[in-house]
Structures are given as structure tokens and as C-alpha cells.
């Protein structure tokens, strides 16, 4: 069981890295990071198409990552 969970955790980790790298950059530089965060927070930019799919996939993979990490630590005992 532990080996299966470790294998799934590795697969999800690699998939999460790939999905994050594939996402397009919203803005560049420090000033863009601050204003880009505000635009995302207040919903001025709506994700469309592949950006929306990558965003949702990132959320799903990150939840799976945390659940598998907890499961691995629980079943290791």
C-alpha cells in the first residue's frame, strides 16, 4: 500500500510541476506581480480556454498532492 501511494505521489508531483510550468505568465516584473495579484483577486481578468483548464487542473492536482502526502505519512507508521 505504501509503495502504491509513493508511486501515485511521484506521478501527481510531476504532473503538477508540468501544469504549473505550462501556465502563461500574467505580467512581468515586481510591479506586474502586485497589480496582477489585485486583478486576479477582484476578478478583472477572467480565464478563458486553456488557461481555465490549466487553472482547474492545478487546483485538483494540488489537492491530490496534499491528500497523498498525508496518506503516505499516515501509512508509513
Average pLDDT score, the chain: 81
* Average pLDDT of the segment spanning 50-60: 91
Q: How many CA atoms lie within 13 A of 21 on its CB side?
A: 6
- Which pLDDT does position 25 carry in this prediction? 75
Query: Worst-scoring range by mean pLDDT, 17-21, 49-53, 57-61, 64-68?
Result: 49-53
Tally the domains of the chain.
1
Domain that holds residue 36: 2-76
DSSP state letters, 11-47: HHHHHHHHHHHHSPPS--HHHHHHHHHHHHHHT-S--
Residue 49 or 47, more confident: 49
Q: Quick one: DSSP state of residue 76?
A: H
Distance CA 50, CA 64 (A): 21
Amino acid at each position: 500500500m505504501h509503495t502504491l501511494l509513493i508511486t501515485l505521489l511521484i506521478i501527481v508531483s510531476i504532473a503538477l510541476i508540468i501544469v504549473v510550468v505550462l501556465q502563461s505568465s500574467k505580467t512581468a516584473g515586481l510591479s506586474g506581480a502586485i497589480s496582477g495579484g489585485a486583478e486576479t483577486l477582484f476578478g478583472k481578468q477572467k480565464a478563458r480556454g486553456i488557461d481555465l483548464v490549466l487553472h482547474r487542473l492545478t487546483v485538483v492536482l494540488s489537492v491530490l498532492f496534499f491528500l497523498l502526502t498525508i496518506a503516505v505519512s499516515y501509512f508509513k507508521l
